[in-house]
């Protein structure tokens, strides 16, 4: 009897957990498709802007219910190569929290680029 009850509870837990997992996987797939379409549109319609994209990472943010992309753009400040790093809401095409967390770091400072990217990813994409 105890084993049957335990098995029933496990089965019920799985039954309740699977829709949540399915939804998360579906939203991640939708996010990937959205980012791919946006990047392709940028490549075709704004090749000059697309050429400035160094790297980008994306994730469906369950906590924010948004598709978030962290983008690294190549830029210059006073003639020096820089990387501008920001998190974008893919649906609104606006930076997360307006312009609060946008970083401009020297292109040669890989540690600072990685730290800023990780900060934005942790803050907005989880």
**Which pLDDT belongs to residue 41?**
95
Q: Are strands 94-95 and 80-89 parallel, antiparallel or unpaired?
A: antiparallel
Residues 6 or more apart whose CB falls under 8 angstroms from that of 58 comprise 31, 32, 35, 67, 68, 69, 70, 90, 125
**Which pLDDT belongs to residue 8?**
53
User: What distance in Å separates the CA atoms of residue 82 and residue 113, rounded to the nearest whole number?
Assistant: 10
**Which pLDDT belongs to residue 24?**
58
**Which pLDDT belongs to residue 19?**
45
**Cα angle 36, 23, 101; round to 5:** 55
**Which pLDDT belongs to residue 97?**
83
If residue 121 lies in a helix (H) or strand (E), which one and from where to where?
Answer: helix 110-124
DSSP label at residue 108 = T
pTM value is 0.76
**Which pLDDT belongs to residue 126?**
79
Paired with 120 in beta bridges are none
**Which pLDDT belongs to residue 87?**
95
Tens place of pLDDT per residue across the chain (126 aa) = 566 655 555 544 444 444 444 455 788 899 999 999 999 999 999 999 999 999 999 999 988 889 999 999 999 999 999 999 999 998 888 998 877 899 999 999 999 999 999 999 899 887
């Amino acid at each position: 009897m105890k084993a049957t009850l335990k098995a029933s509870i496990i089965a019920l837990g799985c039954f309740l957990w699977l829709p949540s997992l399915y939804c998360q996987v579906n939203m991640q797939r939708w996010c990937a498709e959205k980012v791919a379409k946006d990047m392709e549109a940028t490549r075709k319609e704004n090749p000059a802007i697309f050429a400035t994209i160094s790297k980008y990472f994306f994730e469906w943010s369950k906590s924010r219910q948004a598709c978030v992309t962290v983008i690294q753009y190549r830029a210059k400040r006073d003639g020096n190569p820089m990387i501008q790093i920001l998190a974008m809401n893919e649906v609104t095409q606006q930076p997360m929290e307006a312009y609060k967390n946008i970083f401009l770091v020297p292109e040669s400072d890989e540690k600072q680029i990685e730290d800023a990217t990780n900060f934005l990813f942790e803050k907005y994409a989880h």
